[in-house]
Amino acid sequence: MSELDLVVPVRQGAVNQHLRYALRSWAAHLPHRRVWVVGYPPPWLQGVRCLPTPQTGTKYVNTTRAVEAACRHPGISDPFVLMNDDFFVMSPLPDGVPVLHRGPVREVEAYYATRGNGSYLQGLRATRDLLVSLGHEDPLSYELHVPLTVDKAGMLRALDVGRHLPVLHKRTAYGVLAGLGGEQVEDVKVLWRGPQFPAGPFLSTMPDAFTNGMVGVHIRRAFPRPGRYERGGSR
């Protein structure tokens, strides 16, 4: 298969150091055709394609809007690789982007139920109930902070089926409805400042962990030089 486009929804904000280092990591370790920033393009970007989308809703509404816009844009490859602006690829992927999941939604729900009952958990439960109603009795969760290869028609179907939900877990809806399967892994999101973090090819961070934690130091040391997607960077 030819190299795919990388699609990254980006919220409004001029600095976005996460995205800066994420782009450096993708340029180093994730072969791709083009990068598409969907939402808000920071002014320091260069060499990427931009697809502006309104940033007037919740973060869930904004990212869903961005993913749908990407699926409907004829210039974006089909399939494409869905990223976040805090996904770091720390080593090469010789076999391409793997298909990964987090295990059964019921197990993920049990984890988040210990941390309150916010919008994310409510969306998880609503998405699970929707999938169960469609015949998927024990659906898998694809809500990992890692790249996901997306078929446009499949994602549009998932977004349409879940359009009535205030918070749709769109990666999960897509993965289950498309029958992706894949390998179960732990999530790679780092929430803490300490020295322990996943050693595999993928990392993601909370803002404080990136700015003040040892994982942030590790990422910045791995990619110290400006890349081709930054003004003044290498070409």
Whether the per-residue pLDDT at 220 is higher than 80: the answer is yes
Query: For 49, which DSSP code?
Result: E
Whether the per-residue pLDDT at 117 is higher than 90: the answer is no
Task: Outline where DSSP puts E strands in the chain.
Answer: 6-10, 35-39, 49-52, 80-82, 87-89, 100-101, 148-150, 183-184, 189-190, 202-205
Residue 49's pLDDT is 97
Kindly report the backbone phi and psi dihedral angles of residue 137, in degrees, each rounded to the nearest multiple of 5, phi listed first: -65, -35
CA distance 109 to 66: 26
Q: Is residue 170 part of a domain?
A: yes
CATH classification at residue 74:
3.90.550
Residue 233's pLDDT is 65
Put simply, whether the predicted model's pTM sits higher than 0.85 gets the answer: yes
Q: Is residue 231 part of a domain?
A: no
Q: Is residue 147 part of a domain?
A: yes
Mean pLDDT, rounded, of the chain? 94
Choose the weakest-confidence range: 3-17, 24-38, 95-109, 145-159: 3-17
Whether the per-residue pLDDT at 200 is higher than 90: the answer is yes
Q: Is residue 235 part of a domain?
A: no
Q: Is residue 151 part of a domain?
A: yes
Q: Is residue 15 part of a domain?
A: yes
Q: Which amino acid is at 125?
A: R
Whether the per-residue pLDDT at 1 is higher than 60: the answer is no
What are the tens digits of pLDDT across the range 95-108?
Answer: 899 999 999 999 99
Q: Is residue 1 part of a domain?
A: no
What are the tens digits of pLDDT across the range 123-157?
Answer: 999 999 999 999 999 999 999 999 999 999 999 99
Residue 15's pLDDT is 75
Number of domains in the chain: 1
Give me 99's structure tokens.
Answer: 């298909």
Q: Is residue 234 part of a domain?
A: no
Residue 14's pLDDT is 62
Percent of the chain with pLDDT over 70: 98
Residue 235's pLDDT is 45
What are the tens digits of pLDDT across the range 58-103?
Answer: 999 999 999 999 999 999 999 999 999 999 999 999 889 999 999 9
What are the tens digits of pLDDT across the range 172-195?
Answer: 999 999 999 999 999 999 999 999
- Residue range of the domain that includes 203: 6-222
Query: For 141, which DSSP code?
Result: P
